[in-house]
Structure 1
Amino acid sequence: MTTGSSSPRDRRVSQRLGSIAESATLKVDAKAKALKAEGRPVIGFGAGEPDFPTPDYVVEAAVEACRDPRNHRYSPAGGLPELKQAIVEKTRRDSGYEVETNQVLVTNGGKHAIYDAFAAMLDPGDEVIVPAPYWTTYPEAIRLAGGVPVEVLADDTQDYKVTVDQLEAARTERTKVLLFVSPSNPTGAVYTSDEIREIGRWVEDHQLWVLTDEIYEHLVYDDVDTGSLPVLCPDLADHCVVVNGVAKTYAMTGWRVGWMIGPADLVKAATNLQSHATSNVANVAQRAAIAAVSGDLSAVNEMKDAFDRRRRTIVSMLNEIEGVVCPTPQGAFYAYPSVKDLLGREHDGVRLSTSAELAEFVLDRVEVAVVPGEAFGSPGYLRLSYALGDDDLVEGITRLQKLFA
C-alpha cells in the first residue's frame, strides 16, 4: 500500500454531514435532562417546548385514530387530504391567507418543512439572507440544501430586527431567498405590519424568494400590530413559502406535524422529495393535527396567558441582575438578554470571556441550563425559554441573581 494514500472508505463521514453542527438547543436540553435523571435539581431554560400537556380533545382524536385500520396503512406522501384541507381553512381563519390544498405539504415537524422548502428552492451556491440572532437549524438546513447562509446581525439596540438597509448591504448577485421570522426564535422580536410591508417591498423590488416561519403566530403580546407576510404583501405570494406546525401553538412538540405552504409547483417538487425521504407523516399524528387546527383557540389562549405572565416575570427579574440587559420580547416564549457586561470579569474566582463559558459556568455552579448566544450567531447573549412552570422560573432566575450579586 502506498504511504499517505487514502481510499473512499477512509472518509467515514461525508463532508456534507461532517460539517453540520449538533442542535445546540437540543444538546443543552439533553444535558439538563440527564443531570435531572441523576437526581440533581437542574432547572432548564434551554428547550423551546411548552410545559403544558397536549389538549385532551387532540389526544382523544389520536386514540380514536389508533383504532381505525385506515391509519395502519400508507397514506399520500404529501399529507392526508383531510389535514391539508383543515390547514387551508385554519390558514384562512388565523391569518387571512387564501390558499388551495395543492399548495400544502404536510411534514414531519417544522424542521422538516424548512429543509424541504430550501431543498426545493436552492441550487448550489444560491445565497440566503439569514437575520441573526437565528434559530440554530436555519443555517444548517440551508447548507444541507446546497445554499450559502449570509448572516445579518440585528442586536438589542435595534430590538433584534433587521432593517432594509442591512438587507440591501448583504444582497449580492447570488442572493435568492430572504429568511423572515416573526415572532422570532430566539429573541421574541415581532415585526410590525409597517416593517413587514417595507421588507416585502424590498423583496419584490429585487425579485427574491422569501421563506417566512410563522410557527409562533399565536404567541404575540402587547397588542402588537403585525400580520402574515404574504397577506400584507400579496404581490409576494407566488414567491413565498410559509412554514408552520402544531408544535408550539398546541403543545404538540413530540407529535411531529408541520407543513409548508407555497406555490403549487414548488410544493409538488418538495412532495416528490418527501416521497423518497420519509413518505407520509404518521397517520395517527396527522389525525391529531386535524383535531388541533380545526378546534377553537381556547386552550391556546390559556397557554398564551400563562406565557405572558411568565414573560413579564422573567424580564423583570433578569433586569435586576447588574450587567444583564433584557429587552421585553413581544412574541414566542423566549427572553434574550445581553450579558456582555458580565464578560471579561471574575465571578466566584473564574474569569468568563464568552457567553458560552458563562452558560457552562451557571450550569456548573447553580445548576441552571441556558443556551449561549454563540448558538444563534450572536455571542454575548443568552437564550432562556420561559415555557416552564412559574415556580421553576422564579427559582432559576433567583439562582442567577444570587450568583451574580
Structure 2
Amino acid sequence: MNPQAAELNNIIQEKSAIVFDMLSERGKNIFFPKKGILGQTAEAKGTKINATIGAAIEDDGTPMRLEAIASKINMDPGLVFPYAPSFGRPDIRSKWKNMIYEKNPSLSGVELSLPVVTNALTHGISMAGYMFCNPEDEVIVPDLFWGNYNLTLTSMYGCPLTKYNLFKSGGLDLEAFEAKLNEGGIGKKIVILNFPNNPSGYTPTDEEQEAIITIIKEAAEKGNKIVAITDDAYFGLVYEEGIAQESIFAPLAQLHENVLAVKVDGATKEDYVWGFRVGFMTYGIKGGDAALYGALESKTAGAIRGNISNAANISQSLLLSAFESEEYTTQKEAKYDIMKRRYDAVKEALKEEKYKEYFEAIPYNSGYFMCVQLSDGLVGEEIRQLLIQKYSIGLISLGNVLRVAFAAVAASDVKAIFEGIYEACKESKK
C-alpha cells in the first residue's frame, strides 16, 4: 500500500473505524498524490519561470489556445483552457455546498464534506462504487431503478444488485424495503435511494421519508454499517403538496454513526445542462468532522484522477457564473413552471377512464418521468414497436411497463401519447 493511502486510512480509522470498514479494497488503497509530479508542481506555483505544468503557455503567460476556439467563448481564458483540479474548482465546490444548505434547511449546523466535482451523475455513482463496493457486496435498489446502475456497479465492480418491491397500495412498499435492508444478518449494507425515482417519477411523501429514515436508523442501531448513496439527479422537481421537499440525504447525514450518507447530485437535470457533465459527491455522517471528510475527499479525488483526471474547467466556470447571476433563480423558476404544466397535462390526460382497460399509471409526483403498467396479456416491447411504426410515438419499454419522459414533451402533445398507447393496446389485443 502506498504510504499516502495508509496516511489517509489512519485518519479515517482514528475518526471513524466504521467508515474505514465501509471502504472497498480500492477505497482503502486509493489516495490523492501530494508528492511526486503534483507535489512538485504545487511547490513551484508562483515562480517566475514555471516549467512544471503539463500544459502549453503563451509568451504572455496566458493559456495557449487556438483563436478558432477562443473567439467563440466570451470568458477569461484562464477559466476555460487550463486543467481544473481533480477535486474540482474550489469556488464551485464551495458554492455547491452552500446551495445544498439552502435547498435543505434542516442541515443547518450539520457539518458536511466539501463536495468533490465528478463528471456528472453516472461518474459520481461509479466513484461511489469505487470507494465502497467490493465484488461480494450487494447493492440494494428498488425493482424500478435506473438501468445504468448495472453498468456502473455490476459490470464495472462486480457488485450484484438486489431488488425489493417499490410500490404497494399506491405508495412505497416500506415493508419490502425494511425486509431487504435487514436480510442476511448484521453487516455492511449498501443502498441507493433515488428520488425522484427514475423511471417512476416518484418522491416519498413526508411521512414515507420519515418511515424510511426510521427503518435505516433501526437497522444501524442493530449494528449494520450502512452506506446510503442518494442519487439526487432530479432533485427539486416536485409537483405536489405533502411530498418531501428536502433530499433524503439531509436526515441521513445526521442520523447515526453507522450511516454514511453519500450525496451524488449535479447540475445535469436540475439546471438543464446535460452536456456540461458536472456533478458532485458530498459526504455526511453523524459526528463527522473536517479531518474525516478531508480524508474521504482526498480519496475520492484520487479515484477521479486515476479515472478521468478531472472534470471540464469550462463547464464548472459557466455554471458558477450562472449560479452567481441575479437572473438564475427567476430563470430556473420559469423552467420549473414549464415542467409543472407538462406534469399537470399528464394528470389531466389520465383522468380518461377508458385507459384503465389496458393500462394504469404507476405512482408518480415528480421528476422527468412517469410510467404506466400494462394489463395482463399485453407485451411492452410489442406496444413500443407499434407506437413507433404506426403512431410516431417513442417510449421506453421496461418489461410490462412503459416509461413516458414527459419532460421532453410539450404539454399540448401529452394527451396524444396516452391516446396512442390506448389505440396500440387495443390493436394488440385483437
Task: Determine the C-alpha separation between the residues in 1 that align with 2:421 and 2:179.
Answer: 40
In the TM superposition, what is the alpha-carbon distance from 1:101 to its structure 2 partner?
8.1
Residue of structure 2 equivalent to 1:243: 264
1:372 alignment partner AA: S
Task: Determine the C-alpha separation between the residues in 2 that align with 1:191 and 1:216.
Answer: 13
Q: Are 2:394 and 1:369 equivalent residues in the alignment?
A: yes
Task: Determine the C-alpha separation between the residues in 1 that align with 2:184 and 2:114.
Answer: 29
In the TM superposition, what is the alpha-carbon distance from 1:210 to its structure 2 partner?
0.3
Equivalent of 1:132 in 121, 143, 152: 143
Structure 2, unaligned runs of 5 or more: 1-71, 285-292
* 2:360 counterpart SS class: coil
The percent of aligned pairs where both chains have the same amino acid is 20
Residue of structure 2 equivalent to 1:231: 250
Which aligned pairs between 1:268-283 and structure 2 lie closer than 5 A?
A: 268-283=298-313
Task: Determine the C-alpha separation between the residues in 2 that align with 1:142 and 1:360.
Answer: 30
2:280 alignment partner AA: W
* 2:281 counterpart SS class: strand
In the TM superposition, what is the alpha-carbon distance from 1:384 to its structure 2 partner?
0.2
1:75 alignment partner AA: A
Residue of structure 2 equivalent to 1:77: 86
2:142 alignment partner AA: P
1:140 alignment partner AA: L
Most deviating of 281-290 and 264-273: 264-273
Q: Are 2:234 and 1:216 equivalent residues in the alignment?
A: yes
Residue of structure 2 equivalent to 1:151: 163
Using a 3 Å threshold, how does the CA distance of structure 1 residues 357 and 175 change in structure 2: closer, same or farther?
farther
Task: Determine the C-alpha separation between the residues in 1 that align with 2:413 and 2:163.
Answer: 34
Using a 3 Å threshold, how does the CA distance of structure 1 residues 317 and 225 change in structure 2: closer, same or farther?
closer
* 1:180 counterpart SS class: strand
Q: Are 2:385 and 1:360 equivalent residues in the alignment?
A: yes
Q: Name segments (4+ residues, structure 1) moved above 6 Å.
A: none
Q: Is the 8 A contact 1:90 1:293 kept in 2?
A: no
Using a 3 Å threshold, how does the CA distance of structure 1 residues 91 and 202 change in structure 2: closer, same or farther?
same
1:257 alignment partner AA: V
Most deviating of 216-225 and 286-295: 286-295
Residue of structure 2 equivalent to 1:17: none
In the TM superposition, what is the alpha-carbon distance from 1:267 to its structure 2 partner?
3.2
Using a 3 Å threshold, how does the CA distance of structure 1 residues 356 and 156 change in structure 2: closer, same or farther?
farther
Q: Are 2:320 and 1:290 equivalent residues in the alignment?
A: yes
Task: Determine the C-alpha separation between the residues in 2 that align with 1:333 and 1:258.
Answer: 18
Describe the superposition over 1:50-98 as per-residue Cα deviations: whole angstroms up to 9, x where unpaired.
xxxxxxxxxxxx9433x42342111211100111011111111111336
2:144 alignment partner AA: P
In the TM superposition, what is the alpha-carbon distance from 1:128 to its structure 2 partner?
1.2
RMSD in angstroms over aligned alpha carbons?
Answer: 2.5
If you compute each CA radius of gyration, which structure gives the higher value, 1 or 2?
2
Task: Determine the C-alpha separation between the residues in 1 that align with 2:330 and 2:188.
Answer: 42
Task: Determine the C-alpha separation between the residues in 1 that align with 2:368 and 2:228.
Answer: 24
* 1:262 counterpart SS class: strand
Task: Determine the C-alpha separation between the residues in 2 that align with 1:235 and 1:318.
Answer: 39
Residue of structure 1 equivalent to 2:339: 307
* 1:247 counterpart SS class: helix
In the TM superposition, what is the alpha-carbon distance from 1:104 to its structure 2 partner?
1.3
* 1:241 counterpart SS class: strand
2:160 alignment partner AA: V
Using a 3 Å threshold, how does the CA distance of structure 1 residues 316 and 175 change in structure 2: closer, same or farther?
farther
Task: Determine the C-alpha separation between the residues in 2 that align with 1:165 and 1:186.
Answer: 19
Using a 3 Å threshold, how does the CA distance of structure 1 residues 220 and 100 change in structure 2: closer, same or farther?
same
* 1:336 counterpart SS class: strand
Residue of structure 1 equivalent to 2:371: 336
Equivalent of 1:255 in 276, 280, 284: 276
Q: Is the 8 A contact 1:240 1:262 kept in 2?
A: yes
Task: Determine the C-alpha separation between the residues in 2 that align with 1:198 and 1:394.
Answer: 35
Q: Are 2:102 and 1:93 equivalent residues in the alignment?
A: yes
Describe the superposition over 1:22-65 as per-residue Cα deviations: whole angstroms up to 9, x where unpaired.
xxxxxxxxxxxxxxxxxxxxxxxxxxxxxxxxxxxxxxxx9433
Using a 3 Å threshold, how does the CA distance of structure 1 residues 289 and 145 change in structure 2: closer, same or farther?
farther
Which aligned pairs between 1:23-34 and structure 2 lie closer than 5 A?
A: none
Aligned residue-pair number: 327
Equivalent of 1:109 in 96, 120, 127: 120
Using a 3 Å threshold, how does the CA distance of structure 1 residues 169 and 215 change in structure 2: closer, same or farther?
closer
1:232 alignment partner AA: P
* 1:72 counterpart SS class: coil
Using a 3 Å threshold, how does the CA distance of structure 1 residues 162 and 312 change in structure 2: closer, same or farther?
same
Task: Determine the C-alpha separation between the residues in 1 that align with 2:336 and 2:365.
Answer: 12
2:309 alignment partner AA: S
* 1:221 counterpart SS class: coil
1:397 alignment partner AA: F
Task: Determine the C-alpha separation between the residues in 1 that align with 2:196 and 2:279.
Answer: 17
Residue of structure 2 equivalent to 1:382: 402
Task: Determine the C-alpha separation between the residues in 1 that align with 2:347 and 2:370.
Answer: 7
Which aligned pairs between 1:150-169 and structure 2 lie closer than 5 A?
A: 150-155=162-167, 157-159=169-171, 161-169=172-180
Q: Is the 8 A contact 2:143 2:166 kept in 1?
A: yes
Which aligned pairs between 1:187-198 and structure 2 lie closer than 5 A?
A: 187-198=200-211
Task: Determine the C-alpha separation between the residues in 2 that align with 1:250 and 1:311.
Answer: 18
In the TM superposition, what is the alpha-carbon distance from 1:328 to its structure 2 partner?
5.4
Task: Determine the C-alpha separation between the residues in 2 that align with 1:117 and 1:292.
Answer: 27
Q: Is the 8 A contact 2:113 2:297 kept in 1?
A: yes
Task: Determine the C-alpha separation between the residues in 2 that align with 1:132 and 1:355.
Answer: 17
In the TM superposition, what is the alpha-carbon distance from 1:287 to its structure 2 partner?
0.8
Give the TM-score normalised by structure 2.
0.70
Equivalent of 2:194 in 177, 181, 189: 181
1:250 alignment partner AA: D
In the TM superposition, what is the alpha-carbon distance from 1:290 to its structure 2 partner?
1.2
In the TM superposition, what is the alpha-carbon distance from 1:176 to its structure 2 partner?
1.8
* 1:222 counterpart SS class: coil
